[in-house]
Amino acid sequence: MKTIGIIGGGQLGLMIIEQAHLLGARTICLDPAEDAPAFALSDEHIVGRFDDPQALEELCRRSDVVTYEFENVPGDLLVSLEKKYNIKQGFKPLFDSQDRLREKSNARDHGLQTPAFEAVDDAESLRRAVERIGYPCVLKTRTLGYDGHGQAVLRSTADLPKGEALLSVPCILEEFIPFDFEASVVLVADERQVICFPVGQNIHKDGILDLCIVPAAMDESLRERMMEQSKRFMRDCGYRGILAIEYFVKGEEIYFNEMAPRPHNSGHWTIEGATTNQFRELCRYLLDEPLEEPRLVAPTVMKNILGQDLERAKALAAENLPDVYVHIYGKTVSKPKRKMGHVTFVGMTGEEYRTKWADEFVK
């Protein structure tokens, strides 16, 4: 029986473990929080910091294969461990995704269309970049931002002070794309093939993913182009394992936004809405098993559950409704904008969700 080591013990780790167990594997995960959600299911766990070389080494030593559930694993430590242990996805996709400037440059260099962008390090370089890109534009920290944190939309010179407040760290200025909608693609690759889950349409609220609607409402030729260019990008970059790519869609144009070499929030719907799911296919890759091409079971809507909706989600779980699947992550502290779970509605369109369910949750 193989043991999968997971760097990180959050909800993604929890759902990786669920699928690993179904495939007959053991798990061990590392997280600094003693109450990390994944610890409830993992066969073993280590309480330790992600930048602690000894803790990381212990995790790798006790595992047959190692993966990560978030991007911010210290690169220098992972590079040295990769030479000694089976970190099967390798460091490259992680490295490429850890810095937005490097990420955008890599996407552009491999044939994906991106918004115009410029590196920004100080107030003067911000002004020069704004002159070249124009208003409106978006200033983002190059590392560590997520769920709308670490960024500011600049619409005129009056917003420059707001942007300068971010410049204590290196930043990137990007062209603002007035997109019609955001879409995401989740892929898993091994040495033989790249599988691609159906394209989802993402709706955000306050910078945090609120809904993922599958299939995304888009022309079939555009959908095929998005999936094919994503597969080509993954092959050309030499990536293996799992990769999620977010795109902005504007008319017939597709713009790369960002990527993540781990299971993705916009792919949680796959657990019930597809014939296989993102966590299972990652585990198949890690365990050297053949990948399964996914198919959509039925139109599906996934609703993220933040702290303000946790009690409603728990009540919904108790109702045990058909084709309504409630996942509560088991986090011990609930906060209004913290992801506490998700609900998947299988056999439901986005319009049906808005009519029947939208008012059930906090606006």
Tell me, yes or no, whether 150 and 290 share the same domain. no
Cα–Cα distance for residue pair 245/224, rounded to 1 Å: 15
For the residues 309-334, what does the mean pLDDT come to?
A: 97
Tell me, yes or no, whether 344 and 225 share the same domain. yes
Q: ∠358-146-95 over CA atoms, to 5°? A: 135
- Establish whether 48 is an annotated binding residue: no
Tell me, yes or no, whether 191 and 309 share the same domain. yes
How many residues can be counted in the chain? 363
Banded pLDDT at 76 (limits 50, 70, 90) = confident
Tell me, yes or no, whether 190 and 76 share the same domain. no
Continuous H helices in the chain:
11-22, 53-61, 75-82, 92-97, 100-109, 123-133, 160-164, 220-237, 270-273, 278-286, 310-319, 350-356
- Establish whether 146 is an annotated binding residue: yes
- Establish whether 13 is an annotated binding residue: no
pTM value surpassing 0.85: yes
Of 67-81, 212-226, 297-311, the least confident: 67-81
What lies within 8 Å, CB to CB, of 99 at 6+ separation is 142, 143
Nearest CA to 297 among 362, 344, 246, 253?
A: 344
Q: Supply the mean pLDDT for the chain.
A: 95
Tell me, yes or no, whether 142 and 186 share the same domain. no
- Establish whether 148 is an annotated binding residue: yes
Chain centroid, CA 272 distance in Å? 18
- Establish whether 150 is an annotated binding residue: yes
- Structure confidence by residue, pLDDT tens digits, 238-296: 999 999 999 999 999 999 999 999 999 999 999 999 999 999 999 999 999 999 999 99
| Structural domain ending residue among the three candidates 66, 87, 108 | 87
Banded pLDDT at 224 (limits 50, 70, 90) = very high
Q: ∠257-261-264 over CA atoms, to 5°? A: 75
3-state secondary structure of 113: coil
Tell me, yes or no, whether 306 and 157 share the same domain. no
Domains held by the chain: number? 3
Residue 157 forms part of a structural domain = yes
Burial 255-289 (b: 16+ CB within 10 A, else e): bbbbbbbbbbbbbbbbbbbbebbbbbbbbbbbbee
Residue 98 forms part of a structural domain = no
- Structure confidence by residue, pLDDT tens digits, 103-137: 999 999 999 999 999 999 999 999 999 999 999 99
- Establish whether 176 is an annotated binding residue: yes
Residue 139 forms part of a structural domain = yes
Q: How many CA atoms lie within 13 A of 353 on its CB side?
A: 22
- Establish whether 100 is an annotated binding residue: yes
Question: What CATH number does residue 8 fall under?
Answer: 3.40.50.20
Tell me, yes or no, whether 275 and 340 share the same domain. yes
Residue 217 forms part of a structural domain = yes
| Structural domain ending residue among the three candidates 155, 175, 195 | 175
- Structure confidence by residue, pLDDT tens digits, 19-29: 999 999 999 99
- Establish whether 267 is an annotated binding residue: no
Question: What CATH number does residue 150 fall under?
Answer: 3.30.1490.20
- Establish whether 174 is an annotated binding residue: yes
**What's phi and psi for 63, nearest 5 deg?**
-120, 150
Cα–Cα distance for residue pair 346/324, rounded to 1 Å: 7
Tell me, yes or no, whether 158 and 278 share the same domain. no
Residue 199 forms part of a structural domain = yes
pLDDT at 148: 55
Tell me, yes or no, whether 249 and 316 share the same domain. yes
Banded pLDDT at 234 (limits 50, 70, 90) = very high
Residue 253 forms part of a structural domain = yes
Question: What CATH number does residue 311 fall under?
Answer: 3.30.470.20
Residue 100 forms part of a structural domain = no
pLDDT at 147: 53
238 in the Ramachandran plot: left (φ > 0), alpha (ψ -120 to 50) or beta? left
- Establish whether 231 is an annotated binding residue: no
- Establish whether 204 is an annotated binding residue: yes
Continuous H helices in 8-91:
11-22, 53-61, 75-82
Residue 346 forms part of a structural domain = yes
- Establish whether 264 is an annotated binding residue: no
- Establish whether 151 is an annotated binding residue: yes
Q: DSSP code of 54?
A: H
What residues make up the domain containing 169? Answer: 116-175
Tell me, yes or no, whether 74 and 136 share the same domain. no
